Structure formats: C-alpha cells, structure tokens
Amino acid sequence: MITNDKDKNRLQLPKLIGSPKQVAWAESIRERFVKQGEQWIKYLENPGSSFIKNCATLIALQPTIKEENHVKNLISVTATEIKSVMRKAQSNFWIDNRDKDLVEIIRSGIFNNDIKGVILPALERKFPPEQRWIAYEID
C-alpha cells in the first residue's frame, strides 16, 4: 500500500475521501491501478518509434509525419487521462471500479475514437492482461 506521504506527493495523489473503512479499502484498490498507470505513463513518455509508427499505420495505411505527430499528441492525451484517473479522490470511485482494468476506466471516460481505437488497443497488446494483473493482485 502507498502509505508514505513522500510517495503520495511524488505521484500527486490526493487524500481519499470517504468513511475510514472506505478509504482503507479504496487505498488498496487505487494502489493496483497506480502501479499499472505508472508503468504505462513511463512507457508513453518514451514510446519508441515503432510504437508510434504502428499506431500511425492504424490511422493511415501510408502514415506521414502528420499522422505520426497526431499519434504523439494522442499519446500525450492518453498519459494525461491516466494521470487524471489515478488522481480521483472519491473512495467510492475506486470501490465501484475495483473489478475493472485501467483500460476499461479510461475507455469509458474518453471520447476520442483514435485513442479508443488505436492507442488503448496498442497498449493492451504491449501489456497483455496476464502481464498487467500478475504484479497487481491484492495480497
């Protein structure tokens, strides 16, 4: 569990809001999402040219610099959205979404079809479910 105030500040995580029981439960749930989100953000900050080209190819068969720049922008928006999800302060948000994957939460809150149809599927291929959840199961 993320109990160190220094870690919370580094991640810019707000203190959770709710009853003491809700907060304790939500902390353990949020920790799992934060680990996954940090992994994705780290990757998205330096995705590599092959990831960008593969995503650009899904947008256009013969991608140009324009499509690659579009993908870079989408990657930035996706990273921002992941950070936004991790900063949710309501305990009930984490409790209500405890059985979901980070991709599901982001997909439900984003309206850009290229992010839904290109970036998130590419992340899912890069980090298959069995790899995403092994390290994040709650003890």
Q: Could you read off the pLDDT of 83-132 as tens digits, one per residue?
A: 888 899 999 999 999 998 888 888 887 777 888 888 888 888 887 765 55
- Tell me the whole-structure pTM to 2 decimals: 0.76
In a domain, 61, yes or no: yes
Report the alpha-carbon distance of residue 20 to residue 116 in Å, rounded. Answer: 35
In a domain, 1, yes or no: no
Contacts 24+ apart (CB under 8 A), 49-57: 51/122, 51/126, 54/122, 55/118, 55/119, 55/122
Note whether 83 and 20 are within 8 A (CB).
no
pLDDT of 138 above 80: no
Domain range for 103: 18-134
pLDDT on residue 129: 66
Closest CA to 87 of 50, 38, 22: 38
In a domain, 91, yes or no: yes
Report the alpha-carbon distance of residue 139 to residue 123 in Å, rounded. Answer: 26
In a domain, 5, yes or no: no
Q: Bigger pLDDT: 12 or 23? A: 23
Report the alpha-carbon distance of residue 121 to residue 127 in Å, rounded. Answer: 10
In a domain, 99, yes or no: yes
In a domain, 51, yes or no: yes
In tens, the pLDDT along 24-81 reads 999 999 998 898 888 888 888 888 888 888 888 887 767 778 888 888 998 998 888 8
pLDDT on residue 11: 64
How far the first Cα of the chain sits from its last, in Å, is 10
In a domain, 6, yes or no: no
In a domain, 9, yes or no: no
Amino acid identity of 45?
Answer: E
Structural domain count, the chain? 1
pLDDT on residue 94: 95
